[in-house]
Amino acid sequence: MTALDTLRGKYIEAIASAADEAALEEVRLAALGKKGEISLKMRELGQMSPEERQTTGAALNRLRDEIDASLRARKQGLADAALDARLKTEWLDVTLPGRPRRAGTIHPVSQVMAELTAIFADMGFAVAEGPQVESDWFNFDALNIPPEHPARQEHDTFFMARAEGDNRPPHVLRTHTSPVQIRAMQAQGAPIRVIAPGRVYRMDMDQTHTPMFHQVEGLAIDRDISMANLKWVLEEFCRAFFEVPSVELRFRASHFPFTEPSAEVDIRCSWEGGQLRIGEGDSWLEILGSGMVHPKVLAAAGVNPDEWQGFAFGMGIDRIAMLKYGIPDLRAFFESDLRWLRHYGFAALDMPDLAGGLSR
């Protein structure tokens, strides 16, 4: 065995057993670095005879190339092994099903407000809005509600506090959305067709009443608007809202300070098997109050009652929401009763994880 064979064996073995790139670099320096064993041997060629230099030089070149190739191959092998090791630990199962997200759902009252807004929009009614804290003039006086009326006697109405020594009449939490319509008439005059949906407040709290509830009022003023127009608009609304082919309404004479004449409106229904059906049967359900706007109310809102007339109505939104969606009592609104959501087949309820987490 020649000296070069021994050298070759030593480095091929060292390369094969280098455990990482740093060890491999040490082997490279020991063999091929400036002061490496192969490099030193190459420097010795200068002292050799021409014949010896030729054979030894060629052999040294081959050995250097072989070691170099071996180093590169081992380097690549180590890199491949490192990548394999990473791939074994850093993996992601892209076939896993997604984790269901808890989705919210629209509140029944918001849903019903959107529905009725769309129905009245089709009949040419715009939506009007106004403050929930009102002056007593807009909430009462403009609506022909006299100071001695029970609603103004402390117990029905939330009065806002005034600063010490401020003796002006207190503001109130609006008890109906009528003041919104007074403001709309003041702002745009007649003719006008608006609805005013929103929150209203009354000091009332029992099984069927909450101190804050939702109301929608409607107002149509023109030169010759009549009770007949009122009846058609309300029938059309009920048909569309309750999604039945026909409805029958019953007008009962009534009294409101802000309308003359006034009527309470009932809708024909049946309660067979505890299930409400609108549009058929022998029962009647009161759904709203209405009438022809009182001339004094028109005048207070800056509309000339000798030139203009029209109808107005007011209806509780919470109650018609409960009727339409079969919500049995007010707690459904506060505890988000899932029966209401199921009625609609909400997608969120089809997620096993979610349905399990929200069992009620």
Smallest separation (angstroms) from ligand 2NL to the CB of 297:
5
Phi, psi of 25 (to 5 degrees): -65, -40
Closest C-alpha to 343, from 30, 65, 105: 105
Residue 197 or 314: the one with the smaller Cβ distance to ligand 2NL is 314
Does the footprint of ligand 2NL cover residue 267 (CB under 6 A)? no
Per the CB < 8 A criterion, the answer to whether 211 and 200 are in contact is: no
Smallest separation (angstroms) from ligand 2NL to the CB of 256:
5
- How many residues lie near ligand 2NL (CB under 6 A)? 19
What are the tokens at 171?
């503001």
CA terminus-to-terminus distance, the chain: 89
Per the CB < 8 A criterion, the answer to whether 179 and 167 are in contact is: no
Does the footprint of ligand 2NL cover residue 219 (CB under 6 A)? yes
Kind and range of the H or E element at 38? helix 37-44
Residue 229 or 336: the one with the smaller Cβ distance to ligand 2NL is 229
Smallest separation (angstroms) from ligand 2NL to the CB of 311:
8
Per the CB < 8 A criterion, the answer to whether 140 and 293 are in contact is: no
DSSP string, 2-26: -HHHHHHHHHHHHHHH--SHHHHHH
What are the tokens at 274?
């505890």
Does the footprint of ligand 2NL cover residue 291 (CB under 6 A)? yes
Handedness of CA 161, 166, 167, 168 (dihedral sign): negative
One of 312, 317, 323, 332 touching ligand 2NL (CB under 6 A): 312
Residue 56 or 215: the one with the smaller Cβ distance to ligand 2NL is 215
Does the footprint of ligand 2NL cover residue 314 (CB under 6 A)? yes
Does the footprint of ligand 2NL cover residue 265 (CB under 6 A)? no
DSSP string, 225-267: --HHHHHHHHHHHHHHHHT-S---EEEEEEEETTEEEEEEEEE
One of 56, 70, 135, 259 touching ligand 2NL (CB under 6 A): 259
Residue 56 or 178: the one with the smaller Cβ distance to ligand 2NL is 178
Which DSSP letter does residue 88 get?
H
Instruction: Report d(CA 230, CA 292) in Å as an integer.
Output: 9
Per the CB < 8 A criterion, the answer to whether 334 and 312 are in contact is: no
Residue 60 or 195: the one with the smaller Cβ distance to ligand 2NL is 195
Q: Is 260 assigned a ligand-binding role in the annotation? A: yes
Residue 71 or 288: the one with the smaller Cβ distance to ligand 2NL is 288
Among the listed ranges 48-56, 117-125, 221-229, 310-318, the one in contact with ligand 2NL (CB under 6 A) is 310-318
- Specify the residue for token string 């009122």: 230
Interactions with ligand 2NL, residue window 75-114 (CB under 6 A): none
Interactions with ligand 2NL, residue window 135-194 (CB under 6 A): 178, 181-182
Smallest separation (angstroms) from ligand 2NL to the CB of 295:
11
Smallest separation (angstroms) from ligand 2NL to the CB of 105:
27
> Binding site, residues?
260
Query: Which chain residues interact with ligand 2NL by CB under 6 A?
Result: 178, 181-182, 215, 217, 219, 256, 258-259, 289-291, 293, 297, 312-316
